[in-house]
């Protein structure tokens, strides 16, 4: 009986388990390992500080796994690719014939001095990239009525690179609705040379920040938080004072990836960016945020790549050439506040373009335009995620980026 092990039952691991159970013969054994039974809808973390109740983003993982897939609730400790064995923290060893690493990327507030180890953590220094952090920030925003607010990205890559911008726009809207916007000074602080990684989108977002009177501090390579002076300090000597710092910490892959010698220096698994197969170990694939592919770490990428991966995986197990070539397709909604959102569609080689999505010329969503319909699309995505994406149902969207009806901004 060939054995497939999937490490991680998040977005990519759950999708892979559903899609592969459908396609592989019954004699295949499929086991998914995750440390707990709480699947989080992470895009919901953005809304928790404002209006979404924290409980709403959590559901049981096992309910999204199909019959014929075993769920093993345990911490992965180590992978031995030579022995084709995974060791769990409780000492159990699981042998595999094929391995899928889908263990995600993880915010590491401990990597910036003065953040997690300082007295201001979860007091005046917050994050919203964990449910705990987003919930604490919700409480903080209830009482924060005036002062200097920094919305900060420590370094790239982070998951959902547009989420910090979305937070900046939503928090601006939050203060405006309360009639206290004039009492809060907001600065968006980024290590990038502009508001975003992609030049066209970067210019659009810089204009929006300017329109909302949100300052932009770019090229900010963070050194530490000075907890005494309450400043965010950069290596170039800049020190930005704050009364509230909302930071997105550096991200790394899962610890076991690095400790098993399977990761790059950030703990992400080097794979062929088109096939998702490990460059070093032919019986290992990496999906979702866990891999080092040069596109956004996003649920949409996990979705498109995992669907493309299935045929490649089956071909690999049969010793055939891998048929599918993933193009790095990413599709990201960007909430801009005031009930509107932008939508970006891009891949490894193509910058975000204007046009409509998913149907050329029809939409209903508009690319790179700030519309109410895009905002409704973002809200609708929550149900699509639970009901269609995780169970592996085919969505009516192109897996590869389509160029039909699109043009440069």
Asked if 299 touches ligand FAD (CB under 6 A), the answer is: yes
By C-beta, is 121 or 256 nearer to ligand FAD? Answer: 256
Other Cβ atoms less than 10 A from the Cβ of 188: the count is: 26
Q: Which of 47, 64, 96, 129 binds ligand FAD (CB under 6 A)?
A: 129
Asked if 8 touches ligand FAD (CB under 6 A), the answer is: yes
By C-beta, is 75 or 185 nearer to ligand FAD? Answer: 75
Instruction: List, in order, residues 6 or more apart from 322 with CB less than 8 Å away.
Output: 275, 277, 311, 312, 315, 316
By C-beta, is 233 or 256 nearer to ligand FAD? Answer: 256
Phi, psi values for residue 232, rounded to 5°: -100, 120
Q: Which residues pair with 121 in a beta bridge?
A: 125
Task: Determine the straight-line distance between the first and last CA of the chain, rounded to whole angstroms.
Answer: 53
Site string for ligand FAD, 187-226 (x = CB under 6 A): ----------------------------------------
By C-beta, is 150 or 170 nearer to ligand FAD? Answer: 170
Asked if 345 touches ligand FAD (CB under 6 A), the answer is: no
Phi, psi values for residue 290, rounded to 5°: -70, -20
Instruction: List, in order, residues 6 or more apart from 164 with CB less than 8 Å away.
Output: 151, 152, 153, 158, 188, 190, 248
| Shortest distance in whole angstroms from residue 317 CB to ligand FAD | 21
Stretch that binds ligand FAD, among 4-12, 237-245, 315-323, 387-395 (CB under 6 A): 4-12
Q: Which of 21, 297, 329, 375 binds ligand FAD (CB under 6 A)?
A: 297
Instruction: List, in order, residues 6 or more apart from 211 with CB less than 8 Å away.
Output: none
**Cα distance between residue 151 and residue 246, in whole Å:** 5
**Which segments of 174-305 are extended strands (E)?**
184-189, 215-217, 222-226, 231-234, 239-241, 244-248, 251-253, 284-286
Site string for ligand FAD, 53-92 (x = CB under 6 A): ----------------------xx----------------
DSSP 336-382: EETTEEEEEEE-SS----BEEEEETTTEEEEET--BHHHHHHHHHHH
Q: Which of 9, 24, 214, 305 binds ligand FAD (CB under 6 A)?
A: 9
CB-based closest residue to ligand FAD: 10
Asked if 176 touches ligand FAD (CB under 6 A), the answer is: no
- Number of residues located near ligand FAD, criterion CB under 6 A: 35
Stretch that binds ligand FAD, among 62-70, 140-148, 169-177, 285-293 (CB under 6 A): 285-293
Asked if 289 touches ligand FAD (CB under 6 A), the answer is: yes
By C-beta, is 19 or 234 nearer to ligand FAD? Answer: 19
Helix 299-317 × helix 11-23 angle, to 10°: 40
| Shortest distance in whole angstroms from residue 323 CB to ligand FAD | 23
By C-beta, is 73 or 338 nearer to ligand FAD? Answer: 73
Asked if 333 touches ligand FAD (CB under 6 A), the answer is: yes
Q: What is the DSSP letter of 111?
A: G
Instruction: List, in order, residues 6 or more apart from 384 with CB less than 8 Å away.
Output: 395
DSSP 43-83: GGGGTTTTT--GGGGEEESGGGSPTTEEEEE--EEEEETTT
Asked if 382 touches ligand FAD (CB under 6 A), the answer is: no
Stretch that binds ligand FAD, among 52-60, 210-218, 286-294, 358-366 (CB under 6 A): 286-294
Asked if 247 touches ligand FAD (CB under 6 A), the answer is: no
By C-beta, is 43 or 337 nearer to ligand FAD? Answer: 43
Q: Give the β-pairing of 76-80 and 85-88.
A: antiparallel
**Cα distance between residue 279 and residue 163, in whole Å:** 30
C-beta of residue 356 within 8 angstroms of C-beta of residue 366: yes
Closest CA to 152 of 134, 140, 138, 165: 165
| Shortest distance in whole angstroms from residue 119 CB to ligand FAD | 25
Asked if 161 touches ligand FAD (CB under 6 A), the answer is: no
Asked if 300 touches ligand FAD (CB under 6 A), the answer is: yes
Asked if 34 touches ligand FAD (CB under 6 A), the answer is: yes
Whether a cis peptide bond, with omega within 30° of 0, leads into 332 is no
Asked if 43 touches ligand FAD (CB under 6 A), the answer is: yes
Q: Which residues bind ligand FAD (CB under 6 A)?
A: 8-13, 33-35, 42-43, 45-46, 75-76, 102-104, 128-129, 159-160, 163, 254, 256, 288-290, 297-300, 302, 332-333
């Amino acid at each position: 009986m060939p054995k497939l092990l999937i490490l991680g039952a998040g977005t990519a691991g759950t999708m892979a388990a559903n899609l592969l159970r459908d396609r592989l013969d019954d004699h295949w054994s499929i086991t998914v390992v995750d440390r707990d039974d709480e699947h989080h809808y992470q895009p919901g973390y953005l809304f928790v500080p404002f209006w979404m109740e924290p409980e709403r983003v959590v559901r049981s993982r096992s309910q999204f796994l199909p019959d014929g897939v075993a769920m093993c609730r345990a911490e992965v400790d180590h992978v031995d690719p030579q022995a084709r064995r995974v060791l769990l923290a409780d000492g159990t060893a699981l042998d595999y014939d094929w391995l899928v690493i889908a263990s995600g990327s993880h915010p590491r507030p401990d990597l910036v001095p003065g953040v997690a180890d300082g007295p201001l953590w979860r007091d005046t220094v917050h994050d919203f990239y964990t449910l705990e952090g987003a919930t604490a920030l919700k409480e903080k925003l209830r009482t924060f009525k005036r002062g200097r607010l920094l919305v900060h990205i420590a370094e790239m890559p982070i998951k959902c690179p547009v989420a910090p911008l979305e937070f900046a726009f939503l928090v601006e809207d939050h203060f405006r609705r309360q009639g206290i916007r004039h009492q809060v000074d907001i600065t968006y602080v980024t290590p990038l040379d502009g508001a975003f990684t992609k030049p066209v989108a970067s210019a659009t977002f810089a204009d929006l920040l300017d329109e909302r009177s949100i300052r932009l501090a770019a090229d900010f390579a963070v050194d530490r938080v000075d907890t005494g002076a309450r400043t965010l300090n950069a290596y170039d000597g800049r020190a930005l004072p704050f009364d509230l710092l909302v930071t997105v910490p550096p991200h790394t892959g899962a610890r076991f990836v690095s400790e098993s010698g399977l990761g790059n220096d950030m703990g992400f698994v080097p794979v062929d960016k088109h096939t998702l197969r490990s460059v070093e170990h032919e019986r290992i694939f990496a999906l979702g945020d866990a891999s080092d592919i040069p596109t956004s770490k996003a649920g949409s990428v996990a979705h498109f790549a995992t669907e493309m991966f299935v045929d490649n995986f089956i071909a690999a197990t049969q010793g055939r050439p891998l048929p599918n070539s993933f193009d790095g397709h990413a599709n990201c909604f960007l909430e801009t506040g005031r009930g509107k959102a932008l939508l970006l569609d891009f891949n490894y080689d193509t910058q975000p373009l204007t046009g409509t999505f998913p149907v050329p010329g029809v939409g209903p969503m508009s690319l790179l335009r700030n519309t109410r319909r895009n905002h409704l699309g973002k809200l609708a995505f929550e149900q699509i995620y639970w009901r269609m994406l995780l169970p592996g149902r085919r969505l009516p969207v192109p897996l590869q980026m389509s160029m039909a009806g699109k043009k440069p901004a």
